[in-house]
C-alpha cells in the first residue's frame, strides 16, 4: 500500500499545472448501465462507447456521447440511432443525474424544492454547481425482507448510508460511498459465508443477532485527476471490472473493495489501462480475532482496448498476482504489457494471467462478445486431449439483442462461461487469483460450465422487469481431494496425478437459479422491488438443496443486492 500511495503522490505533485477537467465514475449496477449498453449497440459505430469493456464508466466521456446521440436524433440525422420514447426519457434522466457534464434542461429543475436548498434537482438531495466547485450528496437506503421455503429464520437486508461526489476547479474529482449493513441471507448464502469465512462483496464482518446474521461496512472512496489531455489517474478504495459480459473472466467486482491506483490513457483508437492493487491473501482468522492485522498481496494488470473499426473492439489483457511479505515489487510498476521474460529473469514465482477479448456491434441491434483467459497452456498437451492438469484456461461467449423481435425496450442476453480445473490457482497461496477469501474473477472459481439467459423489459418509463436464469455444472473437491474448483487451494496435491482432468470432474454439481424481478421507480432513483427466486443445487456426493425465495424491498440510490451463484 505504501508504494501505491507514494506513486500517486508523485503524480499529484509532478503534474499540478497540466491537470485539466476531471470526471468521476458511474456507480456500478445502477439503471444507467442498461441505457449505455443499448445506446452503444444502437449507435453501432460510436468509438467512445465501444470502450465500454472498462468499468466503472467515466462520467464525462459517457455523458458527452449520450448527449451527442440525443442531439443527432433531435436533428433527424440519418446516422442517428433509433430511440424509443422510453430511451428518450432514460436519456433525459441520465443527463439530469450527471448535470456537471450535461447542458442544462428545464426538466433538470424541481418544481417544488424542499426548503429552497434540497432537491432543487429531482434526483439529488443536495446539489451545488458553481464554476469552481461541484457537489452532489444523496442518501443510500435499501431494505429487503425475504422468505425462504423450509427456513424459519427472519431473512433481511438492511443498508443505509451516504454517497457524495464532486469536483474542485474542474481538476480534481472525488467520490465517497459509505453504508452500514446488516443482513441474514438465504441458507445457501449463509453456507457460502461459513465455508469461505467471507461475505460476498464485503470485507471485515461480525456476527449479527442469531445464527446466520452478519454486520459489515461498505466504504468506498476515490480521487481522480487528469495528468494531460489523454491521460488520467484515479486512486482510491473501490472495485473494478473488465469485460462486456455479465461475468468477467479477467477481473470482476464480485469480491471486496481494494486499494488501487489506475492510469487510463486514451489516444486515437486506443484505451490503455494500468491497474495496481493491494489485496488480502486468503486467511483463516476467526470472527473473535477482531484486531488481527491481515497480510497483504499485490496485483498488477494492463489492459489495451483497441477499435480497429468503428463497430469492432479488441482487447489484450495481462495480469500478475504476487506476495512479497507486505511490500510491492518495483518491477511491476513498469506500465508495459507482456513483461513475463523480465519477471522470470528476476526469479519470479508469481501467478501471471494473459487474456484476449472481442466485441462487435451488428446492424444496430446485436452485439456479440467473448473472452479468453489462460493461466498456463501447452499446445502439445492440448492436442493429445489427455486432460493435462496445467492446461489452465477459460473462455466466454455471449450475445446481446436489443428491442428483440421488434418489441421496444425488450433486451435479451445469453452467455456461456467455461473454465478448466486449477485455473486461477497457484502453488503459492499468496499468489492465487482471490481477494479477501473470494474469487477475483468469476464467482464460481474454476472447473465449471455456466450458461446464463437474461431478459430485461421496460414496458413503461418507471417499470423495470427482468428474468434471469443461471445454469451451471461444476466439479467440486471431494474431501481432501483437490479437483481444481477452488482457486484458494494450492494445486500441488492432485488426486489423479497429471492427467485426466476435465471440466466437471470431481464431486459433480448441477445448479439452476431462476430469478424474476419487478422494480417500480416511485420517484427518481427510489425503487420498490419484488423478487421471486427458485434455486436447485444437486450434488453427486452430499445433500441436494432446493429453495423457493420471495423478497420485497425498497432501495434509494443503490443497486440491488443479488446472490447469483
Burial of residue 444 (number of CB atoms within 10 Å: 0-12, 13-18, 19+):
buried
CATH topology for the 2-112+137-285+294-556 domain: Porin (2.40.160)
Question: Confidence band (pLDDT; 50, 70, 90) for 383?
Answer: confident
Res 348: pLDDT:
55
Is it true that the peptide bond before 10 is cis, omega within 30 degrees of 0? Answer: no
Question: If pLDDT is split at 50, 70 and 90, which confidence band does 343 have?
Answer: low
Q: What is the pLDDT of residue 13?
A: 37
90 neighbors 37 (Cβ within 8 angstroms): no
Query: Distance between CA atoms of 5 and 367, rounded to whole angstroms?
Result: 39
Q: What is the pLDDT of residues 321-342, one digit of tens each?
A: 987 766 777 777 777 776 654 4
Which three three-digit cell numbers place residue 509? 454439481
CA 562 to CA 551: how far, in whole Å?
11
Cα separation values, 226 from 22, 126, 173, Å = 6, 26, 9
Confidence of residue 469 (pLDDT cuts 50, 70, 90): very high
Q: Following CA atoms 246, 313, 422, 322 in sequence, which dihedral angle do they give, to the nearest 10 degrees? A: -100
* Cβ neighbours for 369, distance < 8 A, ≥ 6 positions apart: 243, 244, 245, 357, 358, 359, 360, 396, 397, 398, 399, 400
Q: Which pLDDT value is given to residue 114?
A: 86
Provide the pLDDT confidence category of residue 467 given band limits of 50, 70 and 90.
Answer: very high
- Residue 418 in contact with residue 394, Cβ under 8 Å? yes
pTM of the predicted model, to two decimals?
0.92
- pLDDT grade for 107, boundaries at 50, 70 and 90: confident
Amino acid at each position: 500500500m505504501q508504494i501505491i500511495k507514494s506513486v500517486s503522490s508523485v503524480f499529484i505533485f509532478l503534474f499540478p499545472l497540466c491537470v485539466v477537467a476531471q470526471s468521476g465514475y458511474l456507480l456500478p449496477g445502477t439503471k444507467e448501465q442498461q441505457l449505455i449498453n443499448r445506446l452503444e449497440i444502437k449507435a453501432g459505430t460510436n468509438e467512445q462507447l465501444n470502450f465500454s469493456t472498462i468499468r466503472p464508466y467515466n462520467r464525462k466521456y459517457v455523458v458527452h456521447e449520450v448527449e451527442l446521440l440525443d442531439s443527432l436524433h433531435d436533428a433527424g440525422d440519418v446516422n442517428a440511432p433509433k430511440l424509443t420514447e422510453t430511451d428518450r426519457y432514460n436519456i433525459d434522466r441520465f443527463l439530469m443525474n450527471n448535470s456537471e457534464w450535461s447542458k442544462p434542461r428545464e426538466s433538470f429543475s424541481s418544481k417544488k424544492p424542499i426548503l429552497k436548498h434540497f432537491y432543487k434537482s429531482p434526483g439529488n438531495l443536495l446539489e451545488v454547481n458553481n464554476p469552481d466547485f461541484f457537489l452532489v450528496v444523496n442518501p443510500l437506503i435499501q431494505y429487503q425482507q425475504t422468505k425462504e421455503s423450509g427456513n424459519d429464520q427472519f431473512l433481511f437486508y438492511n443498508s443505509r448510508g451516504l454517497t457524495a461526489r464532486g469536483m474542485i476547479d474542474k481538476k480534481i474529482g472525488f467520490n465517497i460511498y459509505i453504508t452500514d449493513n446488516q443482513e441474514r441471507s438465504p441458507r445457501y448464502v449463509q453456507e457460502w459465508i461459513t465455508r469461505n469465512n467471507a461475505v460476498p462483496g464485503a470485507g471485515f464482518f461480525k456476527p449479527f443477532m442469531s445464527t446466520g446474521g452478519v454486520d459489515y461496512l461498505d466504504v468506498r472512496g476515490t480521487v481522480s485527476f487528469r495528468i494531460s489531455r489523454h491521460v488520467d489517474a484515479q486512486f482510491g478504495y473501490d472495485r473494478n471490472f473488465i469485460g462486456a459480459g455479465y461475468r468477467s473472466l479477467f477481473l470482476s467486482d464480485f469480491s471486496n473493495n481494494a486499494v488501487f491506483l489506475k492510469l487510463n490513457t486514451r489516444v486515437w483508437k486506443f484505451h490503455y489501462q494500468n491497474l495496481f492493487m493491494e489485496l488480502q491473501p486468503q486467511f483463516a482468522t476467526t470472527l473473535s480475532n477482531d484486531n488481527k492485522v491481515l497480510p497483504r498481496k499485490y496485483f498488477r494488470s494492463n489492459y489495451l482496448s483497441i477499435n480497429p473499426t468503428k463497430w469492432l473492439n479488441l482487447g489484450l489483457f495481462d495480469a500478475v498476482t504476487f506476495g512479497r511479505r507486505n511490500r510491492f515489487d518495483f518491477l511491476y510498476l513498469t506500465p508495459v504489457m507482456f513483461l513475463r521474460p523480465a519477471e522470470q529473469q528476476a526469479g519470479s514465482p508469481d501467478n501471471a494471467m494473459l487474456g484476449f477479448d472481442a466485441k462487435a456491434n451488428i446492424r444496430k441491434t446485436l452485439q456479440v462478445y467473448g473472452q479468453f483467459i489462460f493461466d498456463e497452456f501447452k499446445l502439445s498437451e492440448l492436442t493429445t486431449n489427455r486432460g493435462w492438469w496445467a492446461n489452465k484456461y477459460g473462455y466466454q461467449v455471449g450475445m446481446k439483442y436489443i428491442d428483440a423481435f421488434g418489441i421496444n425496450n425488450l433486451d435479451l442476453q445469453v452467455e456461456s462461461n467455461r473454465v478448466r480445473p486449477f485455473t486461477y490457482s497457484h502453488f503459492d497461496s499468496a499468489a492465487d487469483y482471490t481477494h479477501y477469501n473470494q474469487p477475483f474473477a468469476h464467482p464460481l472459481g474454476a472447473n465449471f460450465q455456466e450458461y446464463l439467459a437474461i431478459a430485461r423489459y421496460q414496458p413503461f418509463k418507471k417499470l423495470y422487469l427482468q428474468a434471469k436464469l443461471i445454469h451451471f455444472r461444476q466439479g467440486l473437491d471431494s474431501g481432501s481431494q483437490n479437483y481444481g474448483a477452488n482457486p484458494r487451494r494450492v494445486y500441488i496435491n492432485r488426486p489423479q496425478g497429471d492427467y485426466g482432468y476435465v471440466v466437471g470432474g470431481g464431486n459433480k454439481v448441477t445448479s439452476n437459479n431462476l430469478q424474476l424481478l419487478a422494480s417500480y421507480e416511485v420517484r427518481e432513483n427510489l425503487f420498490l422491488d419484488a423478487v421471486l427466486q427458485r434455486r436447485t443445487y444437486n450434488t453427486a456426493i452430499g445433500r441436494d438443496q432446493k429453495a423457493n425465495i420471495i423478497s420485497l424491498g425498497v432501495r434509494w440510490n443503490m443497486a440491488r443486492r443479488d446472490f447469483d451463484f
